[in-house]
Amino acid sequence: MSDPIVFVLDVAPADAAEPAAGWASTVHRVERGTPILEGTDLGATRGDGVFETLGVLSGLPQAISGHFWRLARSAELLELPAPNLEQWLVAMRMAAAALPSDRQGGVKLALSRGIEGSGQPSGWLVATEAEGDFPERTSGIRVATLDRGYSSDLSERAPWLLPGAKTLSYAVNMAALREARRRGAQNAIFVSSDGYVMEAPQSTVLLRRGNTLITPKIDIGILPGTTQMSAFAVAEEWGLETVDRLVPVSELHDSDGVWILSSVALATPITAVDELPIAVDHEFSGRLNAALISRRE
Amino acid sequence: MSDPIVFVLDVAPADAAEPAAGWASTVHRVERGTPILEGTDLGATRGDGVFETLGVLSGLPQAISGHFWRLARSAELLELPAPNLEQWLVAMRMAAAALPSDRQGGVKLALSRGIEGSGQPSGWLVATEAEGDFPERTSGIRVATLDRGYSSDLSERAPWLLPGAKTLSYAVNMAALREARRRGAQNAIFVSSDGYVMEAPQSTVLLRRGNTLITPKIDIGILPGTTQMSAFAVAEEWGLETVDRLVPVSELHDSDGVWILSSVALATPITAVDELPIAVDHEFSGRLNAALISRRE
């Protein structure tokens, strides 16, 4: 895998007009190994910021509108200055164009509150070529369910806990992945304290039961899934029903297929939950991934 | 207030021997405005790291052993390479010495997992002179109680949620402070979903009832408080009883005094909880702060 390629953005306010030299003049690719953030940046000292990762296929970034909508939403939930989406779009396209066009990859957009007291957000982008060819899209992975500690009425009860915001504060998500590996699994699925499926630390959960695709509803305090939205759009074209609702954890064991969905890895089928094998739908995995790969937004 | 002063550490493994040029040779003060972290540092992209902030009085860092014990404990909970405490001690003293000796201030130690895939943690320190003279130590502040979403048996039930670790993932703590301000308060006190007092977003809660000082027990998923430990030591010398136990939120309204304790601000008395005035013990605030200020560790 080549090294990630980093770009720094001179973050403009949402209402700023495009400079005469164009938005591209506000984006700077940095040499490998160059530090870009100060030690007082709230992104680094408090995880106080938001991010998005877009998948890039054949040089084309995917699900742009979904990711940009969610970036703006996360920023609003954190009361950050609204991002200038036009500027970020130019920067994101520059970062995606830096990737080899024959490889899958991703572009991360990161927006922090910036240096404490400055009122000026920091923005940067990281373009990364994917490692390997995603054999898990066909082989599948095992997951461990992990209590997320929150009940399913969290969003309503405690919005200051930032449910639904994709923040730079991911230490718990990373710890959950380590715990899953300790349990012999490759990923985790978070479960609410009252027993409902939430999300994976970096992806959305999808279930198939007969002709219906199901995903946990986001008002239990989870992220809206951009790849899940694409999967639902595809499934509806195929005549399947789609629904978001409360999903009791027992349904993971009582479905015709379970997947985790994310922007770069796309649809990864689950073969076992807490060491118990579950039904695997290889045919649907193949069809769904082919459809996601052939998207042209 | 002067600008914060930043130092970068070439992080050494816990078992590394001191280099011939001394640990001081591994610490570098950086010029104001110099970036020190790459855009792929997991501290910045995932809040994946730990920190401590020590109070500095008359040039002397306070409660060193408590902070260093907690730094090592947080690193262990995050499965980071154990910090070399001898190296950090030298770096911390250099940072503290950079502050004016006639002002109160603090030194933050930050240790992240480093650049993704490198296995090499990043370390840095920020020395900051305190703003103002802490009038709130006498005037007190109002707090709002905020649901933390977690029940009091969290530590036991879900250690992967990192209860008790002081991580760089503080976006929720910062959001809670904003919510408190929106409610007309100056700070927040987190309450468990089953109604027990936890901690403030950046400090420990202390109550006095008669001759007893009380603090919430840490196994409900909160940080051990370094200033609280000092306060208990002082109080025991004064012949008071000290106890850590479950504290129902109603006790905030039924005490002889409530404080939040932190390393730089020390003991701040609470005058109102959720807009209801509570008993304020100015005499004890004064005595306790005087004792904390005159500590010489």
CATH of the domain at A53: 3.30.470.10
Query: Tens-digit pLDDT profile for chain B (297 aa)?
Result: 589 999 999 999 999 999 999 999 999 999 999 999 999 999 999 999 999 999 999 889 999 999 999 999 999 999 999 999 999 999 999 999 999 988 899 999 999 999 988 999 999 999 999 988 899 999 999 999 999 999 999 999 999 999 999 999 999 999 999 999 999 999 999 999 999 999 999 999 999 999 999 999 999 999 999 999 999 999 999 999 999 999 999 999 999 999 999 999 999 999 999 999 999 999 999 999 999 999 876
| Token pair in block for residue A51 | 């991010």
The CA distance from B37 to B43, in Å, is: 9
Write the pLDDT tens digit of every residue in A97-119. Answer: 999 998 899 999 999 999 988 99
What pLDDT does residue A1 have?
59
CB B240 within 8 A of CB B209: no
The CA distance from B161 to A168, in Å, is: 16
Going by C-alpha positions, the residue among B102, B122, B105, B89 that lies closest to residue B5 is B105
CB B168 within 8 A of CB B43: yes
Write the pLDDT tens digit of every residue in B138-183. Answer: 999 999 999 999 999 999 999 999 999 999 999 999 999 999 999 9
SS3 A62: coil
Residue numbers in A near B43 (CB within 8 A)? 44
Task: Determine contact: A25 vs chain B, CB below 8 A.
Answer: no
What pLDDT does residue A133 have?
87
Asked if A230 and A123 sit in the same domain, the reply is no
What pLDDT does residue A295 have?
80
- CA A251: distance to chain centroid? 23
Residue of B nearest to A169 (CA): B169
Using CB atoms within 10 Å of the CB of residue A296, give its burial: 0 to 12 exposed, 13 to 18 middle, 19+ buried: exposed
User: Across the strands, what pairs with A190?
Assistant: A146
Task: Determine contact: A76 vs chain B, CB below 8 A.
Answer: no
Residue numbers in B near A144 (CB within 8 A)? none
What pLDDT does residue A236 have?
98
Q: Which position has the token pair 């001394």?
A: B22
End-of-domain residue from the set B129, B153, B186: B129
Taking only residues 152 to 211 of chain B, the set having a beta carbon closer than 8 angstroms to any beta carbon of chain A reads 154, 157-162, 165, 167-176, 178-179, 193
Asked if B289 and B242 sit in the same domain, the reply is yes
Ramachandran class of B134: left when φ > 0, alpha when ψ lies in -120 to 50, beta otherwise? left
Taking only residues 42 to 71 of chain B, the set having a beta carbon closer than 8 angstroms to any beta carbon of chain A reads 42-49, 51
B179/A47 Cβ within 8 A: no
Residue A167: φ, ψ to 5°: -100, 165
Asked if B232 and B286 sit in the same domain, the reply is yes
Taking only residues 87 to 116 of chain B, the set having a beta carbon closer than 8 angstroms to any beta carbon of chain A reads 108, 110, 112, 116
Write the pLDDT tens digit of every residue in B34-45. Answer: 999 999 999 999
- The CA-to-CA distance between both ends of chain A, in Å, stands at 26
Asked if A178 and A79 sit in the same domain, the reply is no
Query: What are the strands, taking DSSP E only, across B22-171?
Result: 27-30, 49-57, 60-61, 105-112, 122-129, 141-147
The ipTM is: 0.96
Of B124, B158, B171, the CB nearest to A46: B171
Asked if B50 and B93 sit in the same domain, the reply is yes
Asked if A114 and A219 sit in the same domain, the reply is no
Average of per-residue pLDDT values in chain A = 96
End-of-domain residue from the set B71, B102, B129: B129
What pLDDT does residue B39 have?
98
CB A129 within 8 A of CB A100: yes
Residue A206: is its pLDDT beyond 70? yes
Write the pLDDT tens digit of every residue in A177-194. Answer: 999 999 999 999 999 999
Residue A2: is its pLDDT beyond 90? no
Shortest CA gap B171–chain A (Å):
5
Task: Determine contact: B8 vs chain A, CB below 8 A.
Answer: yes
Residue numbers in B near A179 (CB within 8 A)? 159-160
Asked if A18 and A163 sit in the same domain, the reply is no
Q: Which helix (H) or strand (E) holds A86?
A: helix A85-97
Write the pLDDT tens digit of every residue in A61-98. Answer: 999 999 999 999 999 999 999 999 999 999 999 999 99
% of chain A at pLDDT higher than 70: 99
Task: Determine contact: B143 vs chain A, CB below 8 A.
Answer: no
Of B8, B48, B116, the CB nearest to A171: B48
B175/A46 Cβ within 8 A: no
Asked if B154 and B112 sit in the same domain, the reply is no
The CA distance from B77 to B163, in Å, is: 9
End-of-domain residue from the set A103, A129, A155: A129
Coarse DSSP helix, strand, coil percentages of chain A, rounded to the nearest 5 percent: 30, 30, 40
A169/B149 Cβ within 8 A: no
The CA distance from B197 to B210, in Å, is: 19
What pLDDT does residue B295 have?
81
Query: In degrees, to the nearest 5, what angle opens at C-alpha A142 toward C-alphas A138 and A147?
Result: 140
The CA distance from A112 to A124, in Å, is: 9
User: Across the strands, what pairs with A60?
Assistant: A57
| Token pair in block for residue A289 | 């991934």
What pLDDT does residue B2 have?
80
Of B38, B147, B171, the CB nearest to A78: B171
CATH of the domain at B289: 3.20.10.10
B126/A40 Cβ within 8 A: yes
Please, which residues have CB within 8 angstroms of residue A135's CB and are 6 or more apart in sequence? none
Q: Residue A242 belongs to what domain range?
A: 136-293
Task: Determine contact: B4 vs chain A, CB below 8 A.
Answer: yes
| Token pair in block for residue A284 | 């649907």
Asked if B213 and B258 sit in the same domain, the reply is yes
Residue numbers in B near A39 (CB within 8 A)? 4, 6, 8, 30, 36-37, 110, 124-126
Using CB atoms within 10 Å of the CB of residue A59, give its burial: 0 to 12 exposed, 13 to 18 middle, 19+ buried: middle
> How many domains would you assign to chain A?
2
What pLDDT does residue B40 have?
97
Residue numbers in A near B91 (CB within 8 A)? none
Of B37, B150, B172, the CB nearest to A169: B172
Asked if A10 and A147 sit in the same domain, the reply is no
Asked if B161 and B288 sit in the same domain, the reply is yes
The CA distance from B129 to B131, in Å, is: 7
Asked if A87 and A150 sit in the same domain, the reply is no
Residue numbers in A near B175 (CB within 8 A)? 78-79, 160-162
- The CA-to-CA distance between both ends of chain B, in Å, stands at 26
